[in-house]
Structure 1
Amino acid sequence: MARLTAGAGLKYLLKTTMQADLIKPINDATSYYAKAGTPQGRWLGQALTGIDRQQLQPVTAAEAKAVFSLAQDPDTQAILGRPHSQTTVASRSGERQQRDAVAGFDLTFSVPKSVSVLWAVADNDVRQQILDAHHRAVSTVLAWLEQEAIHTRTGRNGVAHVGTKGAIAAAFDHWESRAGDPQLHTHLVIANRVQRRSDDAWATIDSRALFKAVVAASEHYNGLLFDELRRSLGTEADFRSPTAVQRNPSHELSGVDTALIMEFSNRSRLIGAETDRLTQNWTYEHGKKPTATTIIKLRQIATLSTRQAKDESPTPLDELRVSWRDRARAAGQNPGTVVERTIHRSRQRPVRASDLSPAWVDSAAALTRDGVARRRATWNRWNLLAEADRTCADIRCHSSADRRFIIDAVTAAAESQSVPLSADRYRLPVNAAEDLAYAGNSAFDFPGARLYTDASTLANEQLIMQARHDGGGPAARSAETSAQLTTYRHRAGYQLTADQLAAALAVLTSGNRLDAIVGPAGSGKTTTMAAIKAVWEEAHGAGSVVGLAPAAASAGVLARELGITAENIAKWLYESLGQGANNRADRFRALESTPRGKHGAVTTQLARLSLQQSLWQFKKNQLIIVDEASMVSTIQLAGLVHQARDVGAKLLLVVDPAQLDAIDAGGMLGWLHRDGKAVELTSIHRFTHDWEGPASLQLREGNIDAVNLYAAHGRIQHGDFTDVVENAYAAWAGEQRDGKSSILIAPDNDTVTTLNERAHAAVVESGIVDAEHTVALADGLTAGRGDIIIARKNNRKLTDSNGDYLRNGTLLRIAKRPHRDGTITARRVDTGATITLDAVYLSTSAELGYATTAHRSQGITVDTSHIVLTQGCLTRELFYVGMTRGRNSNTVYVCESNLALDEPHVPVASSSWRQILGEVLAAEGAERTAHEVRESESAKADTLQRLAAEYDYLAQLAAAEHLTSVIAKLMPDVVTHLHESPSWGAGVAVWRHAHAINPAAAQRVLDGALRPPGDAQDHMAVIHARLRRVTGDGVCEPLGTLNEQLFTERPDLQDMLDQVRTRTINRRALVARMALMDRPAWVQRLQATMGATIPADHWAAVISDVAAYRDRWDIETYVDPLGPVPSNYEWEQTQERAGLQRQIEFVLHVNAGAPGRDQPTLPVPVVHKPLTAVGPSL
């Protein structure tokens, strides 16, 4: 899903349609097959009545501009709520940036590739049925989103979730990908305007909920589409295994061959066609065929030229259809045969909701919960909904209603099987109105925000944390260890720094079952590990240190650097606890039952199996170093802890938690670090330039100020995609020629391929690589003698001349011309060992190896690093990894255009390079543990900041009711008119404030203001201005007393007010009690300021009010009791802070014995002044 601003995105969709402003019926889809362009958009959504439009009615350019770009009614031009605005803001770097309002959201629904292929080669009737099925699925998903996700928030900080009448959306169909392959997809553009059900007011969508629901919506769409296709065409679907192009299993139509899908899925085909065209032109111009070197140059030109934006005048569908059918025939596939073997084949009875049994629902729910729990430590309802659809993906349902029922039932059961980390805070009043209730909960308890985990996740996390406190692990004697570390010399000749020595000493002598060392990139973690290994083996003998790592390649590096045996963690767990161990156990039991006559042979085999199993077990007093431990999942770590504990071994986790996290549920290393349970390395030794170490730490923390440092030292380049790719390559290639070690990093696999192809062209041109005799690789490219390739799959059967097996990530240089059978002889770049690779491995599991992704670059140290950055592709952690690989320099090349990907998204406004870097630094991808999330949810559940916003929302509703009743008594004819005024919310807020200060004066002013306002355009604005005179500069008192007199005749509203008041009083008492008991730094400073002679009751009252103020305004880290001085626009906090300051001075003054004053009592707030700032949002 992409955000569309008022100034970009929609223009592209409208330009590609055939009839920008002609309103014609679109019942006959075949009418636009022969026309250039895509079909005219159509209106969708349940809220279309708000703009007087009908479902499926064509969208004209004028209507789209009014609704999306201007936020206006397309007929009356009335503003829908508030107009879109564009603001100019200053970034922290000082750059002025334009920020456009969000006009809408583009959700792109693309059919699976096999469906696009069938649609591309089928006759008109089948093609139309596929299109109709796709449309029905999109419409059903939109209706699902309207019920589950699309709503608005209101009140201060959007504290209340309020239901809406649905969505206003426009759907635009597109036929092809940028590469020209069939890719049937629909851009569903949802306007960022909705009507509240409670009062018909226009508001914006809660985009946070919509973004969280996108994956679930996509999975639901897939299930609905296959259901629709089965009903209309009798199709079936099956799962296809991952390929070199598609890394994950895909759900495709049975009958559409994978080979045909690949024919229409590979951008290299488009590049190949363009290369052929360029080759023909070159031959014509030069009168001879080009050499292999020239052809590679032409292919490089084709690669970049085919990344240009899609044509705004697309080819007519009939022409595309002819070309697609011809391509199918050329691939050996008859279109008619493809259709015949795909449709009318389903024999399974579709499932109805009534078919479900409670036992099946519970079973499917358990599968759903376990599937989510494998990938994340905590989850929400959206995660479960998406997983439920994946679990039920191969189940065909009778209707969309049946699928919805099944998915909801499985999700609800999965929620009940999960452990909640947050709970509903309020009891929903009986007959609660729309402004107090949403989705069966109070407006303050949004179901989509509720978080869960499961018992096994909590248990595994607790097991790992307990191992950190378990003092029963092996250790070294501290006196000897300190001396050994002090005299230790690394093989490169240098000693340990102070922080490295302290870390090593702490680990070696702690006696903990588990320890962790954390440190930023370049802090010397490997050096520290080497020292620990040397001292540990002195105490416990050779071989008492072994290594584990999350990848086979990194395990190999660890083994070479430390001189130890090291293994891939997944392989270790498979052989020690998993299926490998189970298989050996089964064979062992089978052999034990063998007849006695064969006892001798059996005994030998039993001994061999027992020995094999022992090789995969930890030993007593062993130290197991787990490198790159943040990439190890919690369940894997728990398995290692169990093994170490059982035999008396020790685990040492070594990591930078700010680098890559585990693919599956993780977060443990971050928790150990944040909880102070890890030893930390603080000095950075990698970088040549003094400024780069501190700058890298700022990147690590996501500090945007780091951008200025890197820019000032020439480490940031920017431009369009073609330029940054070329500049990054040129810089990398130049340093390679100069003999420097350098790494070229790309944000995604497509860009890796582009850079690899560019590098390949250069080495061919220079004569380093033989382009005449090549082998095919998995990335669609070819390689010859001299080329560098990378292995992408572990293969323990392929061993090199040193006896080491081939690991994923190993770089190899092709040493000789390929053999006739397609095998090659290659030499490892790291060790020089030779290895032979067959054609099958090369074509399925090897790629050119000049460029790499940030994921694969972790753990590499080189002279220089060059990283290409495209918007939305990297998290902070990945970017930090890429920018810390080089000793001498690390340079980023920021792509400011959006042509890097071939995804079918609407173009959006290009961001500046500073904005793109800011987004990356803000995109924290590290996961938090379930324990941390539970603590965080508990801490923020009832803060006074949250409760104040909830109370103000409810008080504002009461004030609106009260003001309406007063106006109705004085002048009933103007009530409706005043309600429709844009100043109504602000007027309600100031009425509430004025009536609290002086009810009689507020009544008089209102009475006078209700008289005809003359030529005033906004009567409510006049009332608001006059009531402001009553409020004056009324001071807001500290939150907690809530003595404000509110008027409401609504039982539901009064019930909610009472609940919030109770929670507020309890919270205020709690924060005061905690401040007095824990005596944090701010309490100690306040006591030092006020002295020790203040009476206990005065002291407790001051602490209570200050603690409430700090909780109310989220002041946590400041030692100053009242925190920083608020900004000018934060007038309420400013007034409350000033009031507390006066209160403190008053207590000091009285207790200093001022003459003529009796023993004082502290001022008691009489009224909690309301917030006028809340008004406009209502």
Structure 2
Amino acid sequence: MTMSIARLSAQSGLKYLFKTTMMDDLKIAPVDATNYYLKSGTPPGRWVGSGLQGISRATGDVVTETDAKAVFDAAAHPDTGTPLGRPHGQPTLVQKSGGRTEARHAVVGFDLTFSVPKSVSALWALSPRSIQGQILETHHQAVSATLQWLEASVIHTRAGRNGVAHIGTRGVIAAAFDHWESRAGDPQLHTHLVIANRIQRITDGGWVTLDSRTLYKAAVAASEHYNGLLFDALCRNLGTETDFRKPAANTHNPSQQLAGVDDALIREFSNRSRLIDLETDRLVAEWTASQGTPPSATTIIKLRQQATLSTRTAKPETVAPLHELSARWQKRAINKGFSPSHTLAATVRRSHRTPFRSCDFAPSWIDAVGSLARERVAIKRATWNRWNLLAEAERVCAEIRCKTAEDRSSMIDAVATAAENQSVALNERRYTVPVDAHSDLHFAGHSVFDFQGSRLFTDAGTLAAEDAVMDARNDDRGPAVCAEVTMESLASYKHRGRLGLHTDQRAAAATVLLSGNRLDAIVGPAGTGKTTTLGAVKAAWEAEFGTGTVVGLAPAAASAEVLGRELAMTTENVAKWLHESAGQGAGNRAVQFFDVERRLTRHQGDRNPHTVRLAQKAALLAAEQDRWRFHRNQLVVVDEASMVSTLQLAALVQQARDSGAKVLLVGDPGQLDAIDAGGILGWLDRQGKTSRLTTIWRFEQAWEQGASLMLRSGDFSAVAEYNRHGRLRHGSYLDMVDQAYLNWQADIKAGKSSILIAAENDTVSMLNQRAQADRVIQGDADAEQAVPIGNGSHAGRGDAVIARQNDRTIVDSNGDFIRNGTMLDVVRSDRRHGSLTAVRRDTGATISLTRDYLESSAELGYATTAHRSQGLTVDTGHTVVTQGRLTRELLYVSMTRGRVGNHAYVSESNPLEDEPLDPAMQATWQQILGEVLAAEGAERTAHEVRDAERTKADSLQRLSAEFDYLAQIAAAEDLPAFLETYSPGSVAELQQSPSWGATVVAWRRSVQVSRPSAERVVKVALGTSESAKDVAAVVHSRLRRFLSEMPSIEEDLLAPVHTSRPDLTNLLSQVQERIQHRTDQVTKDALMHDAEWKRNLMESLDVDVRSDDALDVVSRVATFRDRWGIEDSPLPLGPVPAAHEWEQREQRAHVERFIGQLRHRSAGQPHGQVCVGEAVTQAERLMNVGWQL
């Protein structure tokens, strides 16, 4: 992603950016390009954004450190010191590693870092000064256009309780800082666009914070849009073309780069280990000079180890002048055989295409491309939003060059809208925007309650596929094993001749065997014995239907092979099965078969050898196709089913239904999910339609069984449990990598099986290189005869290598083909042919790997990612955890591989290693693990999302917040209207007061009690506050006192609201209509359906309570629960609200009072008020008004 986001804190957020700027140039306006080219440092920042008028600055003005501190740190006007809204929150202390504490400051801004693609940086680095300036200006144009797009489509603020209303703004205030290089000294042209977390509402100019959640959701779409805009501008200004390069190792996405910039040059300027390479080169040269001969391969590896330890230094604070950096980069390119002038000639002035205007795209083209974008998103996701469609529209249209930024934005918006229109909406647009609506009622073309970015979609194909799987589960007309065979087989079954079944395993197996459902599922956490249970199911099924009637499928060829070997049955990977049974493989055979059949028909009756050969060919083709077909009464086991996509499962289910077979899904939705749209296994489990295994057998320590389940469910208390048992360590990144590696190495030396896991490929590569170096140094691996393999590594005798690609043409000594994920130990190398001979760890078979396969599809195999570790069981596991790289499911998988012990090494960012923009925003190790546990990677099905959205869309919780927002607007206009009639000229002063919002709330509450009394209180307050510094505060105080003396009343959400605005009246009526409908529906559902809270409520009432009173109380309680989002609590009114939830506490008291009256009435006692629960004072009601507009 070429645009990333990071939060910035007060005090620390901009220090890094100012640390490298040319401070002596701050007086220059505008910034002269000559200065940044010749002087040390990076150019001073520039103010950008449409909201600059609010701080009296203009686009392009230099950002001084004084101005930046005022706007970002103090949230104040840089000239007048006037506060820009509420002050930032106070710093809090957090515990860091080593027992130290650190202050955590409020978020004052967001750093959007725009980095040009690597080929653009390479071209920029090698270009003459004039071209460098054009590339920089082109980059600025793309950043500016992306910011304008963000302001128009993404940037907004929220208001009302729970941020229920989305409000437009006057634009952002941002500072842009250009930087030239990466920490490793590679050319990396990038701009830090720092957006202030202060923005003016379009409704009244009030200063508020922006909605960061939407900004983060739209980040990928913004990044893709920036790419498109940049390549448009480069084509326009320099005549460049682009092409797509094959995906980098371990990724699936091709990268778009400038045509003419060689991949090898990009790699030279993209070397994260560049500092280590330079130091290694120096040490090699030093060795050669002192020894008189170049070092051997083994010695070079030792020198690289030394270089790795000696280059852990911080990035220099002083940035060299750009002309010096350019000279260094050009020298590096020349040394690698790349001429700067040839690269420039091959890249610029090569395009002669006429760019497109938005009017060039016909509606039919837009619909077709929108359909393509939707289809591509639907493959990857069960549900999607507009940001997903916008990002995909950019990818689909990546090679289309547009004349202007407006043309590109218009094209992409049209394509995304077409894709939206072709999708199935999962949440409706609920309100019609009134005619001539004010800006406080609409945003981006819709009501403030119907934000376009919040809409969710799926398509009919996804819903149909999900229905097909669920229908199969609910269809009991499938094959089943008779009860006698089931009970006898399960009772006698011994896994591998040793262990019998545990109670939960026997129950799950019996359910599957006896049910007759066309589809069943067994779900079990890691270590519960799913394979053992499958073995019992297979034995009983074959006892009933015969040997070979159980077949297995798995998402990967390697896991399918393991399944087949462990259970002695035929297995295949899902993609291969579908390819051969119904995909291209089947299609090719069908074409051949029909061709043979046609030729046979033409020679019908002939008995010559040619006709016989045709008949034999037809028979062979039919037999081959029959091999890829399910058969009646077969059991089709789909292992690791959570990793199989919904469309694949639906296709398998349909094949099984057609042939009379049964499908059995086995897996754990708490582990890895499908790469493409999935979520089916989790949906079945949450619907109670799976058989569950509950007893964990894997772990040696009993406490780890419960702790692993807490990890699986995202329970943060698991962190304390693992920490208490010494399983967690934390510190700087390199320290954690060191500790994980050393502990893994110690386990290996102790004879234990152990796995070394990292969150991302860079760390895996680092660990692999270190492990290989140690083995070479110890004489266990041969570096002298090593041959090249993937990722720029080498491997020789004694190395561990992992295969990364299925290849059915390469077979081992047992006749099995090489599979993705197969672990190999190298026993011989052939440098002449670049090949290796290795032994498979799983079977002991010998295999020879060719140069082509090794260089494209083999890597060192000492360390692995969490994705590749699923399904493995070892003695110990060691996992390096880095922030933002793991989901809950990945951490759970990583921490459940070891029988004896599982250890996590949490990397806390180290400024010396990572050069963070804002050290104050670095997370503690507890926060990092908390973020991981909260990051649920498993997808929910479209059906689940649709049901959740329907429930949430018109809940009284949401509707009451919408009503409250509108009623507050009415009150905010009603009070000034009254003041103008009584005290003309006082309104402006009162509205400037910090107490104004609280005063409006108090006015609204008072008017509900008695409008004449509220008006009288305000008149008296104004008449006695002439000398007060804050008149609004006095009015607020008097209204609070009035309310405290009045009995509290229950707010009626259906009561008329006084307003003179037709648009507000219109939207209020729409909201209240929904409130009435929802109230009726909630009451009906509560009366018709049983629930635990309802039973508890009725048990608490006297048996003599009249039926109509009972219905009334059930209705009141159900309405209360819906309004406050109480879903799972068995208590009728849910848990007691916190002290600051004054409104909920007040309404709870009203309901409890009513219940108490019923109890006393049925007991024949007077109706006196009975208040059960905590009393709510009017002071509490009015002090907690942070949610109001």
TM class by shorter-chain length? over 0.9
Give the partner amino acid of 1:660: L
Q: Match of 1:86, SS?
A: coil
Within 5 Å, which residues of 2 pair with 1:665-1064? 665-897=677-909, 909-1011=921-1023, 1013=1025, 1016-1032=1028-1044, 1037-1038=1049-1050, 1040=1052, 1042-1043=1054-1055, 1046-1064=1057-1075
Q: Is 2:202–2:439's contact at 8 Å kept on the other side of the alignment?
A: yes
| Alpha-carbon separation, structure 1, partners of 2:941 and 2:824 | 39
Report the Cα offset of residue 27 of structure 1.
4.9
Q: How many residues align?
A: 1167
Cα distance, 1:230 vs. partner? 1.1
Q: Give matches, 1:466-485, under 5 Å.
A: 466-485=471-490
Secondary structure of 2:77's partner?
coil
Aligned to 1:1162: none
Q: Who is 2:61 aligned against?
A: 57
Deviations 1:1054-1082 (A, max 9, x none): 12222222222222221111111103111
CA RMSD in angstroms comes to 2.4
| 2:80 is equivalent to residue 76 of structure 1 | yes
Deviation at 1:1035, TM superposition (A): 5.8
Instruction: Indicate yes or no: 2:34 matched with 1:34.
Output: no
Call closer, same or farther: CA 1:279–1:979 in 2, change over 3 Å.
Answer: same
What SS does the aligned partner of 1:378 have? coil
Which residue number in structure 2 is paired with residue 542 of structure 1? Answer: 547
In structure 1, distance between residues paired with 2:315 and 2:951? 50
Is 2:1136 the partner of 1:1125? yes
CA distance 1:245–1:1084, shift in 2 (3 Å) = closer
Distance in 1 separating the partners of 2:1147 and 2:31: 63
Q: Deviations over 1:401-424 (max 9, x none)?
A: 111111111111111111111011
**Residues 300 and 757 of structure 1 are in contact (CA less than 8 Å); yes or no, is this contact kept in structure 2?**
no
Distance in 1, Cα, partners of 2:431 & 2:152: 22
TM-score, L = length of structure 1:
0.96
Rounded to whole Å, the distance in 2 between the matches of 1:85 and 1:67 is: 15
1:206 aligns with 2:211: yes
Residues 966-1002 of structure 1, C-alpha deviations (whole Å, 9 max, x = no match): 2222333232122122211111101111222233332
Q: Is the 8 A contact 1:519 1:680 kept in 2?
A: yes
What does residue range 228-307 of structure 1 map to in structure 2 within 5 Å?
228-244=233-249, 247-281=252-286, 292-303=297-308
CA contact (8 A) 1:5 1:101 kept: yes
Q: Is 1:587 aligned to 2:592, yes or no?
A: yes
Indicate if the aligned counterparts of 1:1042 and 1:1061 stay in contact, CA closer than 8 A: yes
Tell whether 2:1110 aligns with 1:1099: yes
In 1, the alpha carbon distance for the partners of 2:200 and 2:684 equals: 47
Q: Aligned partners of 1:839 and 1:523: how far apart in 2?
A: 42
Of 505, 524, 548 in structure 2, the residue corresponding to residue 500 of structure 1 is 505
- Give the aligned residue type for 2:126: V
Residue pair 2:442, 2:448 contacting (<8 A) in 1 also: yes
Counterpart of 1:645, as a letter, is R
Q: For residue 1040 of structure 1, report the CA deviation from its aligned partner.
A: 4.9
Q: What does 1:1088-1167 correspond to in 2, within 5 Å?
A: 1088-1154=1099-1165
What amino acid is aligned across from residue 325 of structure 1 in structure 2?
Answer: Q
8 Å contact kept, 2:7–2:921 = no
Residue 174 of structure 1: SS of its match in structure 2? strand
CA separation in 2, counterparts of 1:1156 and 1:706? 50
For 1:362, the aligned partner's letter is D
User: Segments of 4+ in structure 1 off by > 6 A?
Assistant: 93-97, 283-289, 899-906, 1155-1158, 1169-1172
Residue 23 of structure 2 is matched in structure 1 by: 19
In structure 2, what residue type is equivalent to 1:1066?
H
* Deviation at residue 890 of structure 1 after TM alignment: 0.5
Helix, strand or coil at the partner of 2:88: coil
Kept after mapping to 2: 8 A contact 1:108/1:905: no
Question: Hey, what's the Cα distance between the residues in 1 that align with 2:878 and 2:384?
Answer: 36
**Deviations 1:142-161, CA, capped at 9 Å, x for gaps:** 00000101000011111111
C-alpha distance in 2 between matches for 1:631 and 1:910: 33
Does residue 639 in structure 1 map to residue 651 in structure 2? yes
> Corresponding residue for 2:105?
100
- Counterpart of 2:469 in structure 1: which amino acid? I
> Does 287-296 or 917-926 show the bigger shift?
287-296
Change (3 A) 1:662 1:232: same
2:1173 alignment partner in structure 1: none
Distance 1:982 1:1031 in 2: 21
The one-letter code sitting in structure 2 at the alignment partner of 1:143 is Q
Shift of 1:1010: 2.2
Distance, in Å, in 2 between the alignment partners of 1:20 and 1:955 is 54
- Deviation per residue, 1:426-472 (Å, 9 max, x gap): 12111110111111111111111011110000000000100111122
Q: Distance in 1 between matches of 2:100 and 2:331?
A: 53
User: Who is 2:166 aligned against?
Assistant: 161
User: Conserved in 2, the CA contact under 8 Å of 1:1039 and 1:1109?
Assistant: no
Are 2:315 and 2:915, in contact at CA under 8 Å, matched by a contact in 1? no
Deviations 1:837-886 (A, max 9, x none): 12222222211111000000000011110000011110001000000000
The CA deviation at 1:320 is: 1.7
Please say which of residues 1088-1097 and 156-165 is displaced more in the overlay. 1088-1097
* Shift of residue 292, structure 1, vs aligned partner: 4.2
Secondary structure of the 2:828 match is coil
Aligned 1:495-644 pairs, distance under 5 A: 495-594=500-599, 596=603, 598-644=610-656
What pairs with 1:1049-1088 in structure 2 (closer than 5 Å)? 1049-1088=1060-1099
2:671–2:892 CA contact under 8 A, matched in 1: yes
Change (3 A) 1:308 1:524: farther
- List per-residue Cα deviations over 1:248-296 (Å, max 9, x = no partner): 2111111222222222223345432221123445667889866644432
1:85 is matched with 89
C-alpha deviation, 1:378, in angstroms: 0.6
- SS at 1:103 equivalent: strand
Query: Are the counterparts in 2 of residues 983 and 1176 from structure 1 also a CA contact under 8 Å?
Result: no
Structure 2: distance between partners of 1:1123 and 1:768? 64
Distance of 2:886 and 2:311 partners within structure 1: 24
- Which sections of structure 1, spanning at least 5 residues, go unmatched? 1159-1166
* 3-state SS of 1:588 partner: helix
Query: What CA distance in whole angstroms lies between the structure 1 residues aligned with 2:1045 and 2:621?
Result: 86
Verify the 8 A CA contact 1:45 1:142 in the aligned structure 2: yes
Change in CA separation of 1:546 and 1:310 when aligned onto 2, cut-off 3 Å: farther
> For 1:1176 and 1:359, how far apart are their aligned partners in 2?
46
State the distance in 1 between where 2:915 and 2:1082 align. 51
* Unmatched segments (≥5 aa) in structure 2: 1170-1177
- Find the aligned partners of 1:1120 and 1:356 in 2 and give their Cα distance: 59
Opposite residue 835 of structure 1, the aligned amino acid is: I
Q: Could you tell me how far apart the structure 2 residues matched to 1:1155 and 1:1080 are?
A: 31
1:10 paired with 2:11, answer: no
CA distance in 2, matches of 1:21, 1:987: 49
Q: Give, in angstroms, the shift of residue 42 of structure 1.
A: 1.0
Superimposed CA distance per residue, residues 1105-1130 of structure 1 (whole angstroms, 9 cap, x where no aligned partner): 11111111111112221111112222
C-alpha displacement at 1:51, in angstroms?
0.5
Q: Supply the AA of the counterpart residue of 1:234.
A: G
TM-score by length of 2: 0.95
Query: 2:1147 is matched by which residue type in structure 1?
Result: E
Query: What is the DSSP-based 3-state SS (H/G/I as helix, E as strand, rest coil) of the residue aligned with 1:887?
Result: strand
Partner AA of 1:299 in structure 2: R
1:30-73 deviation digits (Å, cap 9, x = unpaired) = 43112222221111110000001111111111111221222121
Q: Secondary structure at the match of 2:1096?
A: helix
Identity level (%): 56
State how far apart, in whole Å, the 2-side matches of 1:753 and 1:906 are.
27
